[in-house]
Structure 1
């Protein structure tokens, strides 16, 4: 690498680190793969939010329906009851950005009414009514790539070229959003680690994550505690902190603007180390 190229790369990393945000996961579901049932009680959920804020979180991501492999669908009204009262409580008590992890237009509509800052949709606004609901607002939205559906997405997923396939998917969804009146500047992209991808697919996506920067939009990486870490390291879901942090660091170095995590304090600390080192790079 030439000195000029190295300097440009270092400057890019420094700028990147200045804008990296930590999204803390708050699952209010009984069956999420890592923390299912842990924060279904209203008071315990609010206590977890307060703790994450103290630890330096930038965004709270509330999920009312598990999207783990084999997950069962949740009724619209049940999901609304799980997430909307909590959203209202958080926005009234704390000065923090809140994302709602949902694929249902009705939930999105309620979330927008009560002050959500982002919609995080694993189906990339493909469900009926979602494009229209988001288009009528100014809310940010994260479009995630997923091959198949949660119940069956891990049954022998295949790609011609996984990076090209995901890029093409994103281009199509961006075009759909723009045609529906959703400005491109409101979009965030997530290649969907663990969603219709083998272990090998996931690590190829992580290794080539920077290629998604070609689309000119912020990127989200959600790798925390996932099976791609557990299967590689032979670790149970609550023994994946080291692997999750290593993957998050790689994602940030490959251009991630947001990392979605269970372990906020440790992730914030890791980013501080990256920033401290970046000060002394060319």
Structure 2
């Protein structure tokens, strides 16, 4: 059943009988884990098709790095990076999300075939985003966000990270719905790594049930992030490179699926695709 464990469905997207897998295609030279690998349009399309073949249910295409400290790319360059890749993958029948904070990029990506807008700012970075998403009538990811990459580390200050993230997401959801986006088309994302340190991220993963109390499907995007590097390194040691965190990512994917996440967003798909299917089989046997 599509609502197993109350995972929820998103109107306008396919329904899956388990936690879905969102594969990442970064069309950037500077993303923290794979910057430059898929910067060429042809290479990016090829990579997206490979991720789909490995088990990704949808592909998230982004043209701007949001790693801590990253500077913004200009709009024309982001459009140049993203739109041809979206168009190429859509022509192959891939279910596509566009990862952008800009309304014009979202609008043109949807016209090119994207069916979901994944805005890490939840519509805060561009005042035109919510009207564009509402007019396009497409699903929208509302992520917890406290500011752009250059300054977000300084904003990682919480008394109770779970309670504050839930409250801030609820406030943002209300604003997005008030702007005309259908509640049935909202997905929420706790924003792991965005204005959060490792302890904050781990606490949020441990309390995903609290986030699901917001009543909308939950996207968990932990792939290769800093908190996993800290866990793997232990006290005082240097974290392993981002590409050596895929097994840890798959562990988070399994935990998220077991906690009722609607989808997980990952760079390396195969291990996570296996993890969520095992989690589904265990749920079915319970």
Structure-1-length-normalised TM-score? 0.91
Q: Give the aligned partner of residue 253 of structure 1.
A: 258
Query: Structure 1, residues 240-279: CA drift from partner, whole Å, max 9, x if none?
Result: 1221111111112222111000111111111222223333
Residue 104, structure 1, aligned to residue 102, structure 2: yes
Q: Secondary structure at the match of 2:28?
A: coil
Q: Please name the residue that 1:200 is paired with.
A: 199
**Are the equivalent residues in 2 in contact too, given 1:32–1:68 (CA < 8 A)?**
yes
CA distance in 1, matches of 2:5, 2:52: 28
1:70-105 deviations in whole A, cap 9, x for unaligned?
00111000000000011111111x222100000011
Contact 2:23-2:266 at 8 Å conserved across structures: yes
Gaps of 5+ in 2: 10-15, 234-239
Q: What residue number does 1:6 align with?
A: none
Shift in Å at residue 14 of structure 1? 9.5
What secondary structure does 2:167 align onto?
Answer: helix
Determine the structure 2 residue equivalent to 1:12: 5
- Corresponding residue of 1:64: 63
Following TM superposition, by how much is the alpha carbon of 1:13 offset from its aligned partner in structure 2, in angstroms?
Answer: 8.0
Question: Aligned Cα RMSD in Å?
Answer: 1.7
Mapped contact 2:21–2:58 kept (Cα < 8 A): yes
- Which secondary structure does the structure 2 equivalent of 1:103 belong to? coil
Residue 141 of structure 1: how far off its partner (Å): 0.6
Which stretch of the first structure deviates more once superposed, 269-278 or 243-252?
269-278
Range 148-157 or range 126-135, more displaced: 148-157
TM superposition shift of 1:143: 0.6
**CA separation in 1, counterparts of 2:281 and 2:170?**
36
Give unmatched runs, 5+ long, in structure 1: 1-10
Structure 1 residue 39, shift from structure 2 partner: 0.2
Deviation, structure 1 residue 165: 1.1
Which residue of the partner structure matches residue 74 of structure 2?
A: 75
Measure the CA separation in 2 of the matches of 1:76 and 1:15: 34
Partner of 2:33: 34
Query: Aligned partners of 1:13, 1:164: CA distance in 2, in Å?
Result: 21
1:255 counterpart SS class: coil
TM-score by structure 2 length? 0.90
2:119 aligned partner:
121
Q: Which runs of 4+ in 1 moved over 6 A?
A: 13-17
Aligned length: 270
Contact 1:13-1:278 at 8 Å conserved across structures = no
For 1:14 and 1:161, locate their aligned partners in 2 and report how far apart those are by CA, in whole Å: 25
